[in-house]
Amino acid sequence: MNHFQTILTQVRMLLSSHQPSQVQALLDNLLEEELLSKEYYCALLCEPDGEALARKISLTLLEKGDLDLALDLALERGPSHRDHGTHSLRAAMELGPLEGGYLELLNSNADPLHLYHFYDQMDLAGEEEIELCSEPDTDTINCDQFSRLLCDMEDDEETREAYASIAELDQYVFQDSLMEGLSKDIFIEHIGSEEVIGEHVEVLEEAGQKSQKRPFPEELAMDLKHRKLVPPSTFSLSCLNLPAGHIQFIPTLPTLPQGIWQISGAGTEVSSIFIYHGKMPQVSQIPPSSGSAVHSLPKSPDRPGSTSPFTPSAADLPSMPEPALTSRANVTENEISPTQCRAVKEVSSKLPKWPETVEQFYRSLQDKYRAEPTGPDGILVEVDLVRARLQRISNKSQERELATPDWAERQLAHGGLAEVLLAAHDRRRPRETQVIAVLGKAGQGKSCWARAVSRAWACGQLPQYDFTFYVPCHCLDRPGDAYRLQDLLFSLGPQPLAADDKVFSHILRWPDRVLLILDAFEELEAQDGFLHSMCGPVSTEPCSLRGLLAGLFQRKVLRGCTLLLTARPWGRLAQSLSKADAIFEMASFSAEQAQTYMMHHFECLEATEKQERALALLRDRPFLLSHGHSPTLCRAVCQLSVALLQQGGEAELPSTLTGLYVGLLGLATRDGPPEALVGLAKLAWELGRRHQSTLREGQFPSVEVRTWAEAKGLVQPVPGIAAATEAEWSFSSFLLQCFLGAVWLALSSEIKDKELLQYLALTPRKKRPYDNWLEGVPRFLAGLIFQPHARCLGALVGPMAAALVDKKQKVLSRYLKRLQPGTLRAGRLLELLHCAHEAEEAGIWQHVVRELPARLSFLGTRLTPPDAHVLGRALEAAGRDFSLDLRSTGIDPSGLGSLVGLSCVTRFRAALSDTVGLWESLRQRGETKLLQAVEEKFTIEPFKAKSLKDVEDLGNLVQTQRIRSSSEDTAGELPAVQDLKKLEFALGPTVGPQAFPKLVRILTAFSSLQHLDLDSLSENKIGDEGVSQLSATFSQLKALETLNLSQNSITDMGACKLAEALPSLSASLVRLSLYNNCICDVGAESLAHVLPDMVSLRVMDVQYNKFTAAGAQQLAASLKKCPHVETLAMWTPTIPFGVQEHLQQLDSRISLR
């Protein structure tokens, strides 16, 4: 007997008996008998689902209680029982209020329709006066009023849940009366689900149908909790429209077309409301009524071209996004071309008309961001954004860093800004905040790009957003806990704008149409822990700025907005971005783009006659040209070039970054106040130690220093600071702050000479007082101390520099000459090369290049154009042969070609795709000799395929060889293909079976292959089919010595195929492993049969298979015929241990380990 079903049936009857007090009495009884805990008791009181409540009560009675006794007590105890209120009230008070519970709704006497009218009155009181019809026989409601109701139900989660509960209660309570016939009105079945209003209400087909009992949710046509929601852009909602602008409740049509909701209230004077969902039918599609028919409906005067009163006007659509902000004019449906549909999918309909204050704020915000910078500040050279991802620094560490893709596999955002903002659209859930990060090194132009985004919105290029807010993060580094979201949006950014509560309410209502840009996020002093800080939704209580940022990152504050932030790609911020929807990296300038920037710079200065001369100066300095990848350095080079060309004579740019900034600041210090540069340098260093780049007026040494620094462009005022706030300035560039910090370290007597070594950051230390936030300091420090004083520090601060620097120079020289470059990691080795280059001291440079190891691996270390230039210069100076590993460095084609083309580089490894691309480029340029040299130097030994791309790149390399062999100009095989001896395949069980056939097709091209390893920790599972394909290639793999087929799900069929083909390898195969497969006795017998023919075989491993004692005995017997075999490992759990020991005693070559 199914006791649970019996109990469940009786509990259902109790719940459906219109006596909720009995239900609560039953729960009180179970609590009193200690069959329920207080927590579970209150959870049942709060259960909103009637069926779930019935099942939970039934399970409790089945497990612990006496059903008959409990039901009897429940029926005896009514509302008048003296303990009834005591238990429930006491338990509820102990565990908190009951909100939205099933029993609370059942006990409520509120009329749902009255609640609708009550909400409308509250809504009208706070917004605008709307005249309501007061005639007793006709109930009317304004369409705008009804639209706001539905709109708020959609946007406010609490409102949606409340209306959903009310609708479910109504469905539950009035179901019997609804079924009694069409003479009574039909009440709404369900209003307000999670996102939108949208499902059909089934109408009874037979008028005389009656219900014998109230159905439970599982018996309804559609479970209210599992309704599929219709996206906002795919439904329409409207009401019957009268010329006077009101909606009149009209009598019910006996038969409703699909998709029409009929809303009415039983026992009220309201007959019904019609709401239509989905595609609207024409009037002719509405079925005729058997009673008094509606012969015709008037054409709506405010809906051109529509013959249906159900066709909505723009003002009737509360949940539709705003049309393109570039044009507020009405656009008919026919004016939108099919190609525009995707772009305007979310902006094809119109929102309710904005209040005047919102419209004014919108215009003011547009004017604020529309202004374009003038002069050199307005130079924009388009650069691509590259899709990026974060990866763990190591398997043992949870810290993450920006991954370094190969140059050929970079995914460029060719769509520009639009693609960036839509990048995470597929992953974005409805009403969920979208976080997009744009990362890049200092000076890459991230802030310029962020301001260009806000300017693009102001010019109407981002119609999916109503409002865009640009906030530099240095404005958010403020103490205190008295900030609200309004302050973040309206007050803290540049040029604050006044906004009233209506504007803020509008933003909260439509957060998905808000773009918030946080620029230079690394400047926040406490930037870690945003994902773990405690923060709640928007509240009226003020909090700290850190709390607001935590709420944004946790998607609790302004939930649904788009959060776009720019930052540097390291530090604690990277840990907070692990769950970002999309990450992009700011690409560097190419050499051509750097020269284009210089051309535009001189055009802005109206000095076009000096363009060619300036470009010639830049080309004469390859090191500075390589640094042209940074827009900040491009501008610095342009500024110094202008100054040098104005002086006339033989102009020449310096060969180091130190010389570049000495030249710029030397001109500024000529007429500056005494000690002004030293004071500013100390300030730059102290701010850098605190991870800051902005300074307040009181921090300057004097007003004269501030005036001088601002006049010379060393600092610039931060725009938009309120009058009541202390004015702020920032350094004109991050590299300038680094240079000034190095000046302070070189001249300061407060820092001991031995402490100076720590700031070079060349050797790891457990405790360092300097965390390298000012990353350019080590190179500038080496240059300032070692370059001749007369043209370096002496040009900045006068002859006093010599005495201060001499002792520090000796200490640093002794330290650098003791370093062993061969023991440094790749990143620190590159930093040492840059320091030696900046120092321009012959002894240090010769020591560094002399100690370079012959095999240099930069695997996983990013190589920028300056890195490639300095490395190439060091290799040439060493005068020895080198082997380079340039895989996963992201080196550009120009840098790759310059390094591997050096005569001192005899061997190199690089990404296959990058190398093949380099060959193709050299072939197109006709550089035959260089192409031949690069082909001979390239090697892939050993090669490990870890992804499908690796296999495809290997196939492209083989294809290149085949094309090369068929050409008349070249002959022979590629050395990289011909000399490959070890090949590993480790793609795992998902991709492995898919990629292995591609590997087999090119396997025969590797004629020197000696080691083929198909084992993987995660199991490749090539199976019998893979073994069959592989066996067909054995006849051409004459040099194969090791074949590892472990953990590949090989059965007897695969073992037999393998045994048939193994004789082709009898003269070369030394080691064969079939560890951990599924080979049974038949497979073991076939291997035993071929074993005597394998004359070169020394080791065979068949452990952890499934053959039994019979298969083991076959292998042992065959082993006696093979004196050349040294070891046969065949322990497996399917063989009795006694049998294995016996076989080992017979032949000691059998291994059981």
The more confident residue out of 117 and 719 is 719
> What three-state secondary structure class fits 483?
strand
In the predicted model, what is the mean pLDDT of residues 319-342? 34
pLDDT for 375: 65
pLDDT in tens, 818-856: 999 999 999 999 999 999 999 999 999 999 999 999 999
Q: Residue holding tokens 């009310």?
A: 166
Mean pLDDT of the chain: 74
As a residue count, the chain comes to 1153
Residues 842-846: contacts with CB under 8 Å, at least 24 apart: 843/813, 843/817, 844/786, 844/813, 844/816, 844/817, 845/877, 846/877
Chain mean position to CA 353: 35
Residue 1063: CB atoms within 10 A of its CB come to 15
CB 747 within 8 A of CB 678: yes
The more confident residue out of 236 and 713 is 713
Integer-rounded Cα radius of gyration of the chain: 39
Distance CA 656, CA 547 (A): 44
Of 173-182, 291-300, 314-323, 634-643, give the range with the top mean pLDDT.
Answer: 634-643
Structure confidence at residue 479 as a pLDDT band (50, 70, 90): confident
Residue 1137: CB atoms within 10 A of its CB come to 10
Distance CA 116, CA 398 (A): 52
| 238: CB partners within 8 A, 6+ apart | 143, 275, 276, 310, 311, 312, 313, 316, 317
The terminus-to-terminus CA distance of the chain in angstroms comes to 56
> What three-state secondary structure class fits 1012?
strand
The more confident residue out of 144 and 906 is 906
Token pair in block for residue 326: 């570039």
CB 300 within 8 A of CB 306: yes
- Per-residue H/E/C for 359-409: HHHHHHHHHHHHCCCCHHHHCCCCCCEEECCEEECCCCCCCEEECCCCHHH
> What three-state secondary structure class fits 1057?
helix
User: Is the per-residue pLDDT at 525 higher than 50?
Assistant: yes
pLDDT for 1048: 94
Structure confidence at residue 610 as a pLDDT band (50, 70, 90): confident
pLDDT for 18: 47
Strands 1099-1101 and 1071-1073: parallel
The more confident residue out of 276 and 908 is 908
DSSP, residue by residue, 141-164? EEHHHHHHHHHHHHH-HHHHHHHH
pLDDT for 447: 86
Residue 497: CB atoms within 10 A of its CB come to 17
Q: Residue holding tokens 């300061």?
A: 748
pLDDT for 694: 84
pLDDT in tens, 941-976: 999 999 999 999 999 999 988 887 766 555 567 899
> What three-state secondary structure class fits 263?
strand
In the predicted model, what is the mean pLDDT of residues 542-566? 85
Token pair in block for residue 135: 């005639």
User: Is the per-residue pLDDT at 999 higher than 50?
Assistant: yes
In the predicted model, what is the mean pLDDT of residues 352-369? 88
CB 896 within 8 A of CB 914: yes
Chain mean position to CA 774: 27
pLDDT for 177: 40
> What three-state secondary structure class fits 695?
strand
Q: Residue holding tokens 């960036």?
A: 420
Structure confidence at residue 869 as a pLDDT band (50, 70, 90): very high
Cα distances (angstroms) measured from residue 88 to each of 29, 39, 80, 103, 1036:
11, 12, 14, 12, 84
Q: Residue holding tokens 């001249």?
A: 747
| DSSP category for residue 699 | G
Q: Is the dihedral of CA 489, 492, 496, 498 positive or negative?
A: positive
Q: Which residues pair with 401 in a beta bridge?
A: 391
> What three-state secondary structure class fits 97?
coil
On the question of a cis peptide bond just before residue 942, with omega within 30 degrees of 0, the verdict is yes
Distance CA 42, CA 39 (A): 5
268-272, 317-321, 767-771: segment of lowest average pLDDT: 317-321
Residue 1122: name the closest of 1079, 1061, 1069 by CA. 1069
Distance CA 778, CA 831 (A): 8
Q: For 414-564, where are the alpha helices, taking DSSP H only?
A: 417-421, 446-458, 485-486, 501-509, 545-553
Structure confidence at residue 980 as a pLDDT band (50, 70, 90): very high
Cα distances (angstroms) measured from residue 699 to each of 522, 589, 671, 721, 748:
21, 35, 22, 17, 18
> What three-state secondary structure class fits 836?
helix
CB 662 within 8 A of CB 620: no
CB 708 within 8 A of CB 672: yes
Cα distances (angstroms) measured from residue 21 to each of 59, 79, 167, 568, 617:
20, 6, 21, 63, 92
Residue 641: name the closest of 594, 687, 680 by CA. 594
CB 657 within 8 A of CB 838: yes
Token pair in block for residue 906: 């005899």
Cα distances (angstroms) measured from residue 301 to each of 183, 328, 637, 962:
34, 21, 66, 74
Distance CA 742, CA 735 (A): 11
Of 208-217, 300-309, 482-491, 1003-1012, give the range with the top mean pLDDT.
Answer: 1003-1012
In the predicted model, what is the mean pLDDT of residues 399-427? 75
In the predicted model, what is the mean pLDDT of residues 416-443? 76
pLDDT in tens, 1016-1027: 888 889 999 999
CB 974 within 8 A of CB 961: yes
DSSP, residue by residue, 757-800? GGGG--S--SS-S--SSSTTHHHHHHHHHHS-GGGTHHHHH-TH
Residue 566: name the closest of 457, 674, 435 by CA. 435
> What three-state secondary structure class fits 584?
strand
